[in-house]
Amino acid sequence: MKKPYIVLLLLITMATLYSCSSDSGSEPMLIVKFQFDPNQARLNNLGQPTTVAAGNAAQTPVFNLISSHYLELAPNANTQLGQGQILYHAPETTLGGSNAIDFDQSRIVTQGETFLKIPLSQVAAGSYEWMRVSLSYQNYQINVRAANGNDYAGTLASFVGFNNYITSFDVDNTTFPVNANRAQGYWAFALNDYPYSSSGQAPPGSTTVPNPISTTSPIPAGSCVVTGRFASNLVIDGTETNDVVITLTLSNNNSFEWHEVNADGKYEPSANENVVDMGLRGLVPTYVK
């Protein structure tokens, strides 16, 4: 073998060894992802199973996108909001007047996509029983019945954060300019492939936010901090060498709810049927270490 080829082979071998060494020595991470389960229990604000309210109807939407404003690990049911291990807090702004989530800077992901990835060294060692997730934005497919009696598919954008500063956003092929704050429960809708769109505001306090530990660790009114319990405590001891992946499984079981005018179980905006609730119906957090 000629000398130049020997040198080249040595260089390639050294680069490969260096690469493997860097990968194996990388810092372990905490990774958070979202998942949706249409068959998961449908819970009320106290974390108890519930049915659709009398006079209302609901459907299970098909999710496209999700965003969260805040993530926190809580050691036990007595840990007050903000006193646990805060993993993430989205940017906020006062451009719209009062303090609000800055929608333009929100992290928006699909199911299974990584929402958060931080070094495990940033997570305090401890045993964590509960997960808190403050949801802020949802984008999903729903079905509507038009005045002509036909059913159509459409896309709905739902802002469930405590307060949301929005410049503009797109739903399907429709742009909604806002340039202002919008309170929890603001929504916008567009038919898929048809020139129809609308927007509105759900009543104050009508967004369901399940919190099974509300008696010992309440959340502020108007927030969207959904709380769920790990099947077994997530223990971080600071000696981890592998990534820890948390999956936040959210119940979308009949999570889109409206008040019926025509009692047919069909959402009919043309009949002035108003959206009353867009809150996700429970959280089951799991982890893999």
Parse the chain into domains and list their residue ranges: 3-288
Average pLDDT over the chain, rounded to whole?
A: 92
Q: What is the pLDDT of residues 223-253, one digit of tens each?
A: 999 999 999 999 999 999 999 999 999 999 9
CA distances from 187 to 12, 19, 43, 103, 158 (A): 56, 48, 22, 14, 5
Q: What is the pLDDT of residue 6?
A: 39
pLDDT reading at 32 higher than 50: yes
Q: Which residues pair with 249 in a beta bridge?
A: 35, 284
Question: How many other CB atoms are there within 10 angstroms of residue 179's CB atom?
Answer: 10
Does an H or E element contain 163, and which? strand 163-171
Q: What is the pLDDT of residue 162?
A: 96
C-alpha distance across the termini of the chain, in Å: 48
- What single letter denotes the amino acid at residue 234? L
Output the pTM of the full model: 0.89
Q: What is the pLDDT of residues 80-121, one digit of tens each?
A: 999 999 999 999 999 999 999 999 999 999 999 999 999 999
pLDDT reading at 158 higher than 90: yes
Q: What is the pLDDT of residue 25?
A: 57
Three-point CA angle 186, 105, 119, nearest 5°: 125
Q: What is the pLDDT of residue 178?
A: 98
Task: Give the mean pLDDT of 188-206.
Answer: 92
